[in-house]
């Protein structure tokens, strides 16, 4: 009975970190890291860097989500989509969620500084700065302030979502590069349409909680057109990164065509159902592009 209770509590804390969010962001860090290691004549990444990047981005993203759950505990209790989360149901105390999140965030900073130490960047700890910026942007700028005040919340808060990819790339390149910025920008541009489609699907929930997501403050047709437009911008931007490799280019063209088709249908028939279809299609889109990046490196290394 006791072991079952421990397993249940572990599962609750795991759920608290929103694994469906951080798994994808950590994967973008891994993909960007591998891409950076494949730039040059020979693939090269130190094993310590690989381990520390995974630990840092996992703790950082999971910790940020745990703290966000603490901040959002009142509105989560109001929304059907979130009222069964660990804090609203009482499975985890709110203060415990905050403490857990702060511990993970602290570990993320420590792991990040360890990367800087290995890269001899102690005097200018760029990875540590990127991690701290990502945590500040998500926890303070997005969750604590903008989420309840402005539709720009997901745009300005989107910088945090781009940080894992930039951290992964920069941990290998040791300096911020143009390609590293472009790859992280791919994540940044992906975020608004994805989240706006979700908020449109659960519009009543967000309205009840008084969260000013785009679909809540503008008309249905306007929000849907902006969602479709941002999806088209994402596709165009992804195709601009064709120099990453042939597999990436093929994946960007095929997956982009599918998203484009769904976006055009959404423009022609602006309904919540079409927006939800676009959300479901865009969910694996980012992962597919980063998988393609990894495959390009593997093939080029053979």
Distances (CA, A) of 278 to 27, 185, 193, 213, 222: 22, 20, 9, 17, 16
Percent of the chain with pLDDT over 70: 99
pTM of the model: 0.93
In tens, the pLDDT along 218-243 reads: 888 888 888 888 999 999 999 999 99
Asked if 282 and 193 count as a contact pair (C-beta separation under 8 A), the reply is yes
Tokens of 8: 């249940």
- Please check the confidence at residue 3 and state whether its pLDDT lies above 70: no
Extract the runs of DSSP E, i.e. beta strands, from 72-226.
none
Mean pLDDT along residues 37-49: 88
Give, in words, the CATH class of 1-174.
mainly alpha
Residues of the chain with CATH 1.20.120: 177-302
In whole angstroms, what is the distance from residue 99 CA to residue 168 CA? 26
Mean pLDDT along residues 66-76: 96
Mean pLDDT along residues 244-261: 95
Tokens of 265: 């249908």
Opening angle at CA 68, ends 63 and 71, nearest 5: 135
- Please check the confidence at residue 258 and state whether its pLDDT lies above 70: yes
- Please check the confidence at residue 103 and state whether its pLDDT lies above 70: yes
In whole angstroms, what is the distance from residue 114 CA to residue 109 CA? 9
Residue with tokens 């990047």: 53
In whole angstroms, what is the distance from residue 157 CA to residue 146 CA? 8
177: left (phi over 0), alpha (psi -120 to 50) or beta: beta
In tens, the pLDDT along 105-149 reads: 999 999 999 999 999 998 899 999 999 999 999 999 999 999 999
What is the pLDDT confidence band of residue 191, given thresholds at 50, 70 and 90?
Answer: very high
- What pLDDT sits at residue 197? 87
Distances (CA, A) of 112 to 11, 83, 109, 176, 254: 26, 34, 5, 15, 36
- What pLDDT sits at residue 2? 53
Mean pLDDT (the chain) is 93
Tokens of 152: 């720009």
Give, in words, the CATH class of 177-302.
mainly alpha
- Cα dihedral sign, 168-181-69-193: negative
Asked if 183 and 35 count as a contact pair (C-beta separation under 8 A), the reply is yes
Residues of the chain with CATH 1.10.357.140: 1-174
């Amino acid at each position: 009975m006791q072991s079952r209770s421990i397993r249940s509590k572990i599962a609750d804390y795991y759920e608290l970190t929103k694994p469906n969010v951080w798994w994808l962001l950590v994967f973008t860090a891994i993909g960007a890291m591998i891409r950076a290691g494949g730039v040059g004549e020979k693939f090269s990444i130190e094993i310590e860097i690989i381990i520390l990047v995974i630990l840092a981005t996992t703790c950082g993203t999971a910790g940020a989500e745990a703290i966000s759950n603490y901040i959002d505990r009142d509105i989560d209790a109001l929304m059907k989509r979130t009222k069964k989360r660990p804090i609203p149901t009482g499975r985890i105390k709110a203060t415990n969620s905050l403490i857990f999140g702060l511990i993970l965030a602290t570990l993320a900073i420590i792991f990040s500084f360890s990367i800087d130490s290995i890269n001899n960047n102690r005097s200018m700890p760029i990875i540590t700065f990127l991690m701290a910026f990502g945590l500040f942007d998500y926890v303070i700028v997005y969750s604590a302030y903008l989420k309840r005040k402005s539709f720009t919340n997901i745009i300005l808060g989107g910088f945090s979502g781009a940080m894992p990819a930039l951290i992964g790339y920069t941990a290998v390149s040791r300096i911020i590069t143009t390609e590293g910025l472009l790859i992280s920008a791919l994540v940044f541009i992906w975020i608004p349409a994805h989240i706006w489609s979700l908020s449109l699907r659960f519009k009543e929930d967000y309205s009840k909680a008084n969260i000013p997501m785009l679909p809540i403050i503008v008309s249905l047709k306007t929000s849907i057109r902006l969602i479709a437009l941002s999806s088209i911008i994402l596709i165009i931007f992804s195709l601009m990164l064709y120099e990453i490799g042939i597999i990436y280019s093929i994946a960007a063209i095929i997956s982009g065509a599918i998203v484009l088709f769904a976006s055009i249908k959404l423009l022609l028939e602006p309904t919540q159902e079409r927006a939800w279809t676009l959300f479901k299609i865009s969910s694996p889109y980012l992962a597919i592009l980063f998988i393609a990046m990894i495959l390009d490196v593997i093939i080029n290394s053979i």
